Structure 1
């Protein structure tokens, strides 16, 4: 009887257990969580289960992060900061769970959101399940992996089906009740527990691993049939227990007991079959849905492909339209450019015609001014109020300054006074230089007529006299360059003597009035004393006193007062002898004539000019002596005799120059670094105002604080690049390499 009472109590307990009414969905907020929620809604809402519980486990908040990337323990921050951070984390969690909660609300299903703070996800979910054992739990696959790594004490939560958990709970209750009974039925209770364990293993054997967790909800759908079988099994177990207590009476009781066991196993097999059949039906339904969806997707894919083809065709047409428009725009642009070019050419032609017309009008009205007129203020500003530092020459009639006018380096000649004869010479030079042009005649850039100033092009190498006498430590001129200079001066004199409508006589030819540019090309200047002769007259009577420089004035002009082109020939002869000897003009003709007669010409030649060719040099000396004849008629003709001879000598000089090694010119003093005593590569101005090579001064200031020139303390160690000097050094190097 006691066994029957135990069976009845177990049946009442089994019937008293409620059917599962709450579905728990555990999510982690990642992308796959929405698929689990959608599956749970589709699976359980049609079965009438309208209560869901959404579980989310987040780590415990033990510290507050800082903007520097580290963290501060929660106990070490202020209470208001900790409260604000906890509130912010709670708000973020609510925002993360809001989309999933909205999915439940769209299905009109009640859902309870539970947020758990724990560092052990499996343990937190297990404790939540322990509070409500009747909840069906649906886990994501990645949470199942967390369960696999948990402690062995929670291994009973790994079961793939919720009916198995219920069955385990029933078995535990049965064992607890059976242990409270008397020891008379202890043997029967142990057998029932063994049977429970075998049944439990039979339930667990189909799902040995967590990989089948995805099929757990389908097994839950058959939970009621399992519970019914469990109740039937319990009742059968009770009858079997009664039969077992009476087994001692006979073998018939044992047979009945075995039959009852077979019935229980049969019911169990039927339950498993029903569950498999239900899952098969669900799978077939899902397969049909997938087939329909695949067909729909195929139709949609066809539509998309069709639209894609239409889009491609449309894009191709648009591209063709774009190419056509581009070609039209390119053609229009070319036409516009051609039209603009034609318009510009027409404007240039019209401007040229206007200028030509103005020239013709000016020629008819009066003389044309071919030089630029500068103001006195511009002259004063360009010469820094006629600073002595810019003075480069001084003569009998004026002083020459170096200046920079309109971004051009020039030389300004300022006359000493405004007396009548000075004004006449100024106007004479202005008229001559403004009307004629020659490559070896000094170029006039402009003038200031009010104050008697003439602006010439600047000649870098100064005058021929300075270079021959090597003033300011200048480099000597090679002999072949002297041959060329003689030819250039002679050709310029021929040009002046044959100018039209009047012949021009220089009257003051000397090395000081022959200037040299950076390539040692000579140009004749200072034509203020020049005289114009009519073409039908070769001699002009000068009523004024003799003008010019002693030793260069024609003796016949001094005796008779008559000037002619042969007067310039006499001065040219003296220039030739100075080119050969680099000696002053006084008594030079007698010295050379004596040396030629005694065959000692090589002894009086300038040794700095290099190895003179004996034959050609003697020919040039005789030519110079011929130009210095006292009588005008004994002097050779400049155009017919002197110039052809100089051309032959120039050809010899050119061949020698091409074959001779380059003569290294000595650098100017301001090109040399005071520290290195060599030409500077990168000139920089230091705080003491002196210019040094950058590397040398940088090394100096590293070791010293005083100036290398003044030996005074440097205010600072800043260096300013001297680009003007660098440009001059580079130009000098290029000339030296030519």
Structure 2
């Protein structure tokens, strides 16, 4: 399907179309065809038109550069776009054809319009078309155009001609021969034809042919004949420069020549000039149209650039939108994570609140249990009295510094009088982290312990957290050894006796039933001396109850917080946190070496070992005493070194090994002292507090003091209070003291 439209400067029915030049929108072949038609067909009478074949409208470009199919556009818009494409010329007549095939459109136009001459341009790259197997448009047009039309194919080097058939026999185009000739040869033919035409115009009137049968075709035939003669003459002279052209002319004369002009006869010269001028105007109009096309292309380029900028802005907007979407997605994820974290915090807060509530419930239960323990102590412990707050404040003058006699890690100690008895009040510090636990621990433990070598607990006050102990007139063993301020040094016999008494007190703690007790902080500062220099172990608040004794290779109790004092602390306990009854033996060994040497515990073990190894032990003994029993002192030092072994399993057993040796040493030094001084003073712990004489059968009462059996028996029949403390006794049971009985018997035998 093809359609055409034309634009002319006058009436399109005034003249028939004589020359049609097929052109494209661009290309040198079209320009070459137009120039050739202007130079060679200017004298042909009739209209000259430019024929341009375009494909049918299948899309309409949008301002953004997008190709919109015609099916999606309105018919009126499509028609306006098609009309705009066809309007290409101003003064030059232009025929715009629409069709899918250029050759078919041109052939149809030649047949329907009756054009006599059709000019086409041809590129010289026929070899390139053959390689790519492209369609040769000029050849196709030559074969498709009707026989009534002259076809000129103009290329760079030659001219391909197909002359019209005048016979009008209606034969097929297959009998029409196509001739190719160079531009030079065709110019020669045209020049000879013009000479023949000029000669015909120069004849007199009587010689001029009267009949119109002598037409331009006859003149052309005559010119061809004359050219053929010249051609034959030229062939006889080989080597001339124009042999190829004359051969072509010789071949051209064999074809019937159709006059390039009308069969009506020659036109006046003025008409020819007029036609030439019109052709020139046509060419100028074509040039202007070409400029308009170029201008339109520039406008299209500007619009395309604008569309590109708009497209770039749209793309930037899309990128910004994508960036904003990504930012929104990121913020959304952050919001989701924040919500998740908030939920986790809520859950953690809920768990913490539950744990806090549970802890408070446990604390309340413990407080309740503690109250029950206190009530039980008050019910069962008859010697342990509960004091009121105002009683303690009144006795200590509202905790006056003048009453202060000491300060420990867990409290301050005041000296005062309660119930007409001199006592020591220990107030637990208010900023102590575990003061409550420590307080009730001491109350629970000390209220159940009654031994001559343990400090006696007389009472407590839970309102201010204080403990009431019996007052020890001679202070601590540390005051006698290290902080001795002008006082007389301890006699070596008292030192032997103190070691024996401390060992007895430890043996009592370790032998308690059903659970043994480990002191964990035995040191000279916690060994107190009464007015008779009887030693007693105090500050049992650090004590730890052990379930049952197990072999030394097994862990008995593992403590997360190490308790004790440096230099007196069991090395194995420091390393592993394991508490055993033998942990107290290490501190006992250090105290033994200190009592013998009177030195600081730092490096004392090494110096004692070296002195014994070099047999210079007498040099490290305390020089304040000049009459040391060297043999007994060295034996005691060796026992102390055994107690300071690094591993618990290498230390001796307190009950079966340490106490018998100490008892034997005490017996020996007592005999030695008696032999030196017959009027030796009787040890105070050998004397009964009731009879004030040496005991023969010592018994321990419920108040922890030792009495003669017959004396305490008679006392209990009449009284329910202690002969020493004047407090009510918890019970009337008495226990024989076999170790003290043996010591008294040895002392008596040695004295006698």
Is this a same-fold pair by TM over 0.5?
Answer: no
TM-score w.r.t. structure 2 length? 0.39
Question: Over alpha carbons, which structure has the higher Rg?
Answer: 2
TM-score (norm 1): 0.40
Q: Where is the helix percentage greater, Structure 1 or Structure 2?
A: 1
